[in-house]
Amino acid sequence: MPGTRRAAVLVWATAVFVYVLALFHRSSLGVAGLQAADRFEINAAALGTFTVLQIGVYAAMQIPTGLLVDRFGPRRTLTAAALFMGLGQLLFAVASNYPLALVARGVLGVGDAMTFVSVLRLVAAYYPPRRYVTLTSATAALGAVGNLAATVPLTLLLDHAGWTATFAIAGAATVAYALVVTLRVRDTPDEQARPARPRTSPREVLDQVRQAWRVPGTRLGFWAHFSTVFAPGVLGLLWGYPYLVQAQGFSPAEAGSVLSLLVLVAMVANPVIGEVTGRWPATRVPIVAGYLLVELVLLGLLLGWPGGVVPGPLVVVAFGLLAVGGPASGVAFAVARDYNPLHRVGTATGVVNVGGFSAVTISALGIGLLLGGDTAAADAAAFRTAFLALVVILLLGGWRTLVWWRRVRAGLLAAHARGDEVPVRVRRTRWDLPERAAS
């Protein structure tokens, strides 16, 4: 029905723009770092705290966000997200000291954390499961527009309008968009706002999380997201630029161009992976496994190259291939969607999203600790040691992804043998677990 399809697209597009704003706000400090250091009179370590704080808040908010979406619906949650982000950016615009600026970025991080899960909950309600991966990937690809807007356009605005006006305009526009969300988004296709559930006790809330976590598909999604998203995340948000400039000898302009690959490659790969895995669901986890093997080889080359200074073309290719981790992480949300009932999809998606951003936070902190106190003096040898944190995270995540992939496959084989309907048809292989291991 064309009318129904148009309504679904309109709701999705309205919600996706909140996600675009979220990525813009999340990345906005990337080009304003030097001005922030001067404005708040802070060193590089304190500047890095902005990023670690925001990622940490994001990760910590994922399960609460899933619960909020399941209880109050995505429309209300997205409206609150836009308000939090806008107010956080307005506070950042007028902040004159470091503690207040940290509070502002924390508030912004809360709003940012509430966007992606809410958009995916709307996709689950408006579109069939086969389209879920495609729309998830399209959402991520369009969100990258926010990353791009936080580069050259934001730089020009900062140069011409100044700090306060730039961030105040961004904050005010986001607050205003909250009204658009309230008016145009509906939680269900019948355009009736989904009523809130009865008030639940903390024990019932924890039980909802436990139920989602007990599902093998949720755990597979958690570890797949943990394994795929952390490398491009930590390189793009914090450590990629100093690694390229200080360890590899790139000029600032060259480093910026290489980092832009993390966005541009993701924009291209997102719809491709989404379409492939949407049409052929059985390819989802194999694509993740293939990416993890490539990632392991790339990290081995970057860290094992004699002398530590890697040929420039190889660095460019490595960053471009690592960027595919973001699109590959969309598989995790599709898996969570397939194995959880609709009323628990928000919670399961939040649990999955914790995985990747926990890995980003841990790896970012690990690299900082291994680099030591003077980041500005770090050379190729120092970064080679520090980036071992990435290898540890990859090996842990890859191992747990394999464990839960086998358990999910055992469950699918057992369900198929009973004659139950299964979301993905798989064929038994020699390395599969016995069907009784599904639980």
At 142, the pLDDT band (50, 70, 90 cuts) reads: confident
What is the Cα Rg of the chain in Å?
22
| Cα angle for residues 371, 227, 27 (degrees, 5° grid) | 65
- Quote the CA–CA distance of 236 and 252 in Å, as a whole number: 14
Tell me the average pLDDT across 154-170: 87
Give the pLDDT confidence of 8-17 residue by residue, as tens digits.
Answer: 889 999 999 9
Count of positions (residues) in the chain: 439
- Helices in 150-251 by DSSP H: which ranges? 152-161, 163-184, 202-214, 216-234, 240-242
CATH class of 208-421: mainly alpha
pLDDT at 132: 76
* Greater pLDDT, 344 or 421: 344
Residue 35: how many CB atoms within 10 A of its CB?
A: 15
Q: Is the pLDDT of residue 234 over 90?
A: no
Exposed e or buried b for every residue in 186-197, given b needs 16+ CB within 10 A?
bbeeeeeebeee
The Cα diameter of the chain in Å comes to 67
Task: Answer yes or no: is pLDDT of 312 > 70.
Answer: yes
Position 196 pLDDT exceeds 90: no
| Confidence check: pLDDT of 195 > 60 | no
The residue type at 157: L
Mean pLDDT of 43-54: 74
Q: Are 219 and 354 in contact (CB under 8 A)?
A: no
Give 154's pLDDT tier (boundaries 50, 70, 90). Answer: confident
Distance CA 179, CA 248 (A): 47
* Mean pLDDT along residues 155-181: 91
Highest mean pLDDT among 48-57, 65-74, 159-168: 159-168
Mean local confidence (pLDDT), 365-383: 76
The answer to whether residue 375 scores a pLDDT higher than 70 is: no
Residue 396 has pLDDT above 50, yes or no: yes
User: Residue 338: pLDDT above 90?
Assistant: no
- Whether the pLDDT of residue 242 is over 60: the answer is yes
Answer yes or no: are the C-beta atoms of 89 and 66 closer than 8 Å: no
pLDDT tops 50 at residue 123: yes
- Please give the residue that has the higher pLDDT: either 247 or 188: 247
CA dihedral of 431, 391, 309, 51, whole degrees rounded to 10:
130
Write down the pLDDT at residue 1.
47
Q: Which residue has the higher pLDDT, 191 or 305?
A: 305
pLDDT of 45 over the 80 cut: no
Q: Are 295 and 319 in contact (CB under 8 A)?
A: no
CB 36 within 8 A of CB 195: no
The rounded distance, in Å, linking the Cα atoms of 392 and 158 is: 39
Contact 29, 237 (CB under 8 A): no
CB burial readout 100-137, b (16+ within 10 A) else e: ebbebbbbbbbbbbbbbbbbbbbbbbbbeeeebbbbbb
Closest CA to 225 of 83, 115, 326, 305: 326
Q: What is the mean pLDDT of residues 159-166?
A: 88
- SS3 for 341-399 is CHHHHHHHHHHHHHHHHHHHHHHHHHHHHHHCCCHHHCCHHHHHHHCHHHHHHHHHHHH
- Alpha-carbon distance of 364 to 239, in angstroms, equals 7
Which range has the worst mean pLDDT, 174-183, 341-350, 370-379?
370-379
Q: Where in the chain is the domain with CATH 1.20.1250.20?
A: 1-188, 208-421
Q: Above 50 in pLDDT, residue 216?
A: yes
> In the structure encoding, which two tokens stand for residue 233, read together?
């995340």
- CATH number for region 1-188: 1.20.1250.20
Select, from the ranges 48-52, 127-131, 265-269, 375-379, the one with the highest average predicted confidence (pLDDT): 265-269
CA distance 366 to 347: 28
pLDDT confidence of residue 145: 83
Q: Which amino acid, residue 140?
A: A
- Tell me the three state secondary structure of residue 272: helix
Work out the percent of the chain whose per-residue pLDDT is above 90: 34
Going by pLDDT thresholds of 50, 70 and 90, the confidence category of residue 112 is very high
Q: Where is pLDDT greater, at 362 or 199? A: 362
Q: How confident is the model at residue 258 (pLDDT cuts 50, 70, 90)?
A: confident
Measured in degrees and rounded to the nearest 5, phi and psi for residue 189 equal -60, -20
**Across 171-186, average pLDDT:** 94
